[in-house]
Chain A
């Protein structure tokens, strides 16, 4: 596949393909798209296989408060250097995001970390267990409503 496509054309191509489920994040410092959960995996597949953004740079999440959580994935290509942020929102009471482990084994530990810290369930992850905290730890510390022991 043509790996030389500039990033704005990549985004335009994705918008044509997923007009309802994908939006460009306006006013962002770096190129970013926000997708609906149901097409997240498909968009990532396209980015990897069709557009050559085949390196998983980073995977994490942000707590948005009442609006739930936002899964943040940065994919990139090295030559030419392009990087795209893909955001996917998920509700607070039942946070679920499709797992990227099948596309990138690199996602394994990073999804486990996000699960550990935010309690986001990555559907399809082969072994979603706590990675940094102990197995009997209660709560998800990077959630904004988590109270550290000294403040309880």
Chain B
């Protein structure tokens, strides 16, 4: 007779609050877990602690005034958020962006993707109890932030993209520093492998944990690296190239298990592809203006547009409705983190508590984008 069947033993479900201040929740995210012993039998997300009403704020700002706001959505990937927004407005207005600006945008977007992945990779190891890897990833991320500081003056809140181009041309010292960074990365990748992906404890904690299969992921609207780790090669840069992504040669890394380990490793592989794209962009970088001639007051014609780009965490969409005035009538932001968090309860079902922590961290959400 097992212990649970012993009539003298009483079993009871336990409700446990995870967060909102718990460090492994990456900001102010709270989950109400129903536990049967150590097993999760129910999970409810409690979000909104960081809600600032971005969509409402947009309605009271001009199109240009809103550009710094996307930086504060997913604050680990400001460039990508800005890019999605300005491209949506450009689509609405039919603005042609100068060639040089397009290339600069690609460089910035891919650098930002790498920086965002580095945050995830570093903090993931930290969540599993390894402090050291954090240092390696953040050492490299620092170099990217330095590059951003050169072009925009900011490190995380950049305000660099403009409707019709970018704010400023690259300073002369930018490209040499970028090339130096790129030359240093292969050695870093080796270090990542040695310190994390090859680590026995890390593998034991992540292999086969928090499996989310492709059909589940698609039904829950999960996109980005989390979807590709489950074996689906969907990437908007290939499926519906925006900007000038169709001019570059790169691969979409795909894994098949959809577990925490794959979600971790795929981000390292994506960084390698980002480097490939940046390399091609530097080689082809043309001279010329970095900003199109757009009216001083941005007044898109009446209409609406939904524009989505491949953000660092998945499909980042902007739905802009214009009534012909200088402020958006409605701006909706489709944040991939919000969707991914929505799928978390399903992912964490029947896991043990320690695996829930590993799974939460592995889907890489940023609360600024969840709550908006």
Residues of A in contact with B (beta carbons under 8 Å apart) = 27-30, 54-58, 60, 62-63, 72, 74, 78-79, 81, 83, 85, 104-106, 108-110, 113, 117, 130-134, 141-142, 148
Contact = CB atoms under 8 A, between A and B. Distances in A.
A104 B221 contact: yes
Nearest to A85: B306
A62 B306 contact: no
A29 B91 contact: yes
A29 B88 CA distance: 12
Contact of A60 (B239, B332, B341, B371): B332
Contacts of B304: 28-29
Interface of B: 47-48, 51, 53, 55-56, 91-92, 218-222, 234, 239-240, 303-306, 308, 315, 317, 319, 321, 329-330, 332, 334, 338-339, 341-343, 346, 371-372
A interface secondary structure, majority: loop
A55 B234 CA distance: 11
Contacts of A74: 306, 317, 319
A67 B343 CA distance: 34
B48 A134 contact: yes
Given A57-B221, A110-B338, A132-B51, 14 more contacts: A28-B303, A30-B306, A58-B306, A58-B308, A60-B334, A62-B330, A81-B240, A104-B219, A106-B219, A106-B343, A109-B341, A130-B48, A131-B47, A132-B48
A141 to B, nearest CB: 6
Contacts of B321: 62
B interface secondary structure, majority: mixed
A54 to B, nearest CB: 8
Contacts of A83: 240, 306
22 contacts: A29-B303, A29-B304, A57-B221, A57-B308, A57-B334, A58-B306, A58-B308, A58-B334, A74-B306, A74-B319, A78-B234, A78-B239, A104-B219, A105-B220, A105-B221, A109-B338, A113-B338, A131-B48, A132-B48, A141-B53, A142-B55, A148-B56
Contact of B342 (A81, A106, A148): A106
Contact of A109 (B51, B56, B342): B342
Which residue among B92, B219, B315, B317 has the maximum number of chain A CB atoms within 10 Å of its CB? B219
Contacts, number: 89
B319 A105 contact: no
B239 A106 contact: no
Nearest to B221: A106
A29 B304 CA distance: 7
A78 to B, nearest CB: 5
A83 B218 CA distance: 16
A53 to B, nearest CB: 13
B319 A72 contact: yes
B305 A117 contact: no
Contacts of B305: 29-30
A81 B85 CA distance: 21
A124 to B, nearest CB: 17
A6 B371 CA distance: 36
A106 to B, nearest CB: 3
B308 to A, nearest CB: 7
A57 B92 contact: no
A54 B222 CA distance: 13
Contacts of A134: 48
A132 B304 CA distance: 25
Contacts of A30: 305-306
B51 A133 contact: yes
Nearest to A130: B48
A134 B49 CA distance: 9
A57 B56 contact: no
Contacts of A78: 234, 239
B19 to A, nearest CB: 16
Nearest to A106: B221
Contact of A105 (B47, B55, B306, B346): B346
B219 A105 contact: yes
A49 B219 CA distance: 13
B216 to A, nearest CB: 8
Contact of A56 (B51, B221, B234): B221
Contacts of B371: 132
A105 B305 CA distance: 24
B348 to A, nearest CB: 15
Contact of B47 (A79, A110, A117, A132): A132
Contact of B48 (A55, A105, A106, A133): A133
A90 B304 CA distance: 19
Nearest to B317: A58
Contacts of B48: 130-134
Which residue among A28, A62, A134 has the maximum number of chain B CB atoms within 10 Å of its CB? A62
A113 B342 CA distance: 11
